[in-house]
């Protein structure tokens, strides 16, 4: 079995810092032979990580890459959300196997177009629903399938985004408004809607949702902050939990930390370079003076085939992490990331379940990033399509469920999911 060759299209935080990092740690598994990104600094970083990439295999945009004769087996497509659809369809049409960062696309129509071309072309395809590959959630899935709680009746699942992550990515950052990205449930939590489908093993029939942008608005700005537009101008800044100086400098750079999210602000994060970025760029803005419009809290109720139900909560106002409760006819699973407890009704006793995380994993999804890459690359090697858990039809199904939930939030009422 030959070693697959891949091109990374979109050398940002996901394409290069997450997936590229895994590939760099596993050079015996896969070769990066091309890089595509409009930012010279990201290309330069990519070529330092993958010095084997020739200058003739470096491109500013995906159109230039696809105009070139075929140079690889697969493409990791990790551009911004709004740029996924046309590139994904074109790559699939050219016969490139595809790993597509979630969400697939910002509209239902574009998602359907991608999947139609994927099925027509017959490529090996995976959506980056990395939670399906994380050991913690794989263990919950195993327990459900092996009958640890009997038949599943209902599931409660929550994504606690973390107050500082919300401020970084969804108030100041690239996913702050729907024109530039997509709505919050799609951009952040389609992972979790997909995970509920994975746990129930059933298609969703109906959804209902509520939520909105409660806090990160101009009218919620503390009076003491006055008219300051940037944290470094604000006399109230030391008392604000969302202060950019607190999040990036005092809590991280000053303590020697150099990883995400600091490397979003500067490729070489230091106290000095981060301070400069906060004075000059969007990440230094007051969270009450940004152009954000995505929700900061949302709840979703879901009904699956056969009457199984689930609820999902996304909130910005917490320390971060995910929490899951699975209630079945014979028991309960209660889980926070890294800890799983199972109650057996018959013996009325709790059992602790240990989850072994990959040693040395640096990804932020508990081993899910690496698990996804390993599955996709292995299927590229063999052509057998055995390890990918987030393929075409089911990924489309969970995206359509997410779109239906957002329609419910906007317009009220219960939405039927139409596949």
Q: Which of 92, 153, 83 is nearest to 120 (CA)?
A: 92
What are the angstrom distances between the C-alpha of 174 and each of 111, 169, 294?
A: 21, 6, 11
Same domain, yes or no, for 194 and 339? yes
Confidence of residue 146 (pLDDT cuts 50, 70, 90): very high
Confidence of residue 364 (pLDDT cuts 50, 70, 90): low
pLDDT, average across residues 341-361:
88
- For the chain, give the longest Cα–Cα distance: 66
For position 365, what pLDDT does the model report?
Answer: 82
Task: Render pLDDT for 236-274 as a digit per residue (tens, 0 to 9).
Answer: 999 999 999 999 999 999 999 999 999 999 988 999 999
Same domain, yes or no, for 85 and 111? yes
Task: Render pLDDT for 283-309 as a digit per residue (tens, 0 to 9).
Answer: 999 999 999 999 999 999 999 999 999
Decide which of 98, 123, 148 is a domain's last residue.
123
Same domain, yes or no, for 95 and 142? no
Task: Render pLDDT for 94-129 as a digit per residue (tens, 0 to 9).
Answer: 999 999 999 999 999 999 999 999 999 999 999 999
**Side by side, which strands form the sheet with 309-315?**
349-353, 339-344, 331-336, 321-328, 152-160, 309-315, 297-304, 204-212, 415-416
Same domain, yes or no, for 257 and 339? no
Confidence of residue 363 (pLDDT cuts 50, 70, 90): low
Specify the CATH number for the domain of residue 13: 3.40.50.720
* Domain range for 33: 5-123
Same domain, yes or no, for 109 and 26? yes
User: DSSP state, 246?
Assistant: I
Decide which of 284, 301, 325 is a domain's last residue.
284
Decide which of 92, 123, 154 is a domain's last residue.
123
Judged against a pLDDT cut of 70, whether residue 216 lies above it is answered with: yes
What are the residues facing 366 on neighbouring strands?
none
For position 368, what pLDDT does the model report?
Answer: 93
Tally of domains within the chain: 3
Same domain, yes or no, for 67 and 190? no
Confidence of residue 357 (pLDDT cuts 50, 70, 90): confident
For position 358, what pLDDT does the model report?
Answer: 73
Same domain, yes or no, for 60 and 199? no
Beta strands in 183-252 (DSSP E): 204-212
Task: Render pLDDT for 129-143 as a digit per residue (tens, 0 to 9).
Answer: 999 999 999 999 999
User: DSSP state, 233?
Assistant: G
Judged against a pLDDT cut of 60, whether residue 154 lies above it is answered with: yes
Task: Return all residues near 311 (Cβ < 8 A) that are at least 6 apart.
Answer: 154, 155, 156, 157, 299, 300, 301, 302
CA distance 205 to 307: 9
CA distance 32 to 43: 13
Same domain, yes or no, for 91 and 204? no
Per the CB < 8 A criterion, the answer to whether 6 and 379 are in contact is no
Q: How far apart are the first and last CA of the chain?
A: 37
Specify the CATH number for the domain of residue 155: 3.30.360.10
The tokens for 148 are: 């640890």
Q: CA-CA-CA-CA torsion for 398, 323, 338, 400, nearest 10 degrees?
A: 10
Report helix, strand or coil for 409: helix
Confidence of residue 180 (pLDDT cuts 50, 70, 90): confident
Residue 49 falls inside a structural domain: yes
Q: What value does the mean pLDDT of the chain take?
A: 96
Q: What are phi and psi of 77, to 5 degrees?
A: -105, 105
For position 217, what pLDDT does the model report?
Answer: 98
Same domain, yes or no, for 248 and 342? no
Per the CB < 8 A criterion, the answer to whether 34 and 8 are in contact is yes
Residue 366 falls inside a structural domain: no
Q: At what angle do helices 108-121 and 84-93 cross, to 10 degrees?
A: 10
Residue 60 falls inside a structural domain: yes
The tokens for 282 are: 């969007």
For position 337, what pLDDT does the model report?
Answer: 86
Residue 80 falls inside a structural domain: yes
């Amino acid at each position: 079995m030959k070693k697959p060759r891949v091109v990374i299209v979109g050398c940002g935080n996901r394409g290069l810092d997450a997936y590229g990092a895994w590939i760099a740690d596993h050079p015996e598994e896969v070769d990066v032979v091309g890089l595509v990104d409009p930012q010279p600094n990201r290309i330069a970083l990519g070529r330092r990580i993958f010095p084997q990439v020739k200058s003739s295999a470096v491109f500013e945009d995906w159109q230039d890459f696809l105009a070139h004769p075929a140079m690889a087996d697969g493409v990791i497509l990790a551009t911004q959300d709004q740029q996924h659809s046309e590139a994904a369809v074109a790559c699939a049409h050219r016969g490139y196997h595809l790993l597509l960062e979630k969400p697939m696309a910002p509209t239902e129509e574009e998602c359907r177009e991608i999947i139609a071309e994927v099925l027509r072309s017959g490529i090996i395809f995976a959506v980056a629903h990395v939670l399906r590959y994380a050991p913690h959630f794989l263990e919950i899935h195993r327990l459900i399938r092996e009958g640890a709680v009997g038949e599943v009746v209902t599931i409660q699942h929550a994504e606690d985004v973390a107050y500082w992550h919300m401020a970084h990515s969804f108030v100041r950052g690239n996913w702050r408004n729907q024109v530039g990205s997509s709505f919050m449930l799609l951009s952040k939590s389609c992972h979790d809607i997909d995970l509920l489908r994975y746990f129930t093993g059933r298609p969703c029939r109906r959804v209902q949702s509520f939520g909105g942008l409660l806090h990160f608005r101009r009218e919620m700005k503390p009076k003491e902050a006055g008219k300051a537009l940037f944290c470094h101008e604000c006399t109230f800044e030391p008392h604000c939990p969302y202060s950019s100086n607190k999040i990036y400098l005092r809590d991280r750079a000053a303590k020697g930390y150099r990883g995400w999210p600091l490397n979003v602000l500067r490729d070489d994060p230091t106290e000095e370079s981060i301070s400069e970025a906060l004075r000059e760029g969007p990440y230094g803005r007051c969270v009450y003076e940004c152009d954000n419009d995505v929700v900061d809290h949302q709840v979703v109720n879901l009904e699956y085939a056969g009457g199984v139900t689930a609820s999902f909560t996304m909130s910005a106002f917490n320390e971060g992490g995910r929490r899951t409760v699975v209630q079945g006819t014979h028991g309960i699973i209660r889980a926070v990331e890294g800890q799983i407890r199972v109650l057996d009704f018959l013996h009325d006793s709790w059992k602790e379940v240990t989850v072994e995380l990959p040693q040395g994993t640096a990804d932020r999804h508990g081993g899910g990033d690496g698990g996804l890459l390993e599955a996709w690359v292995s299927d590229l090697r063999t052509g057998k399509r055995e390890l990918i858990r987030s393929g075409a039809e089911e990924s489309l199904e969970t995206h359509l469920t997410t779109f239906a939930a957002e329609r419910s939030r906007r317009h009220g009422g219960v939405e039927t999911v139409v596949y």
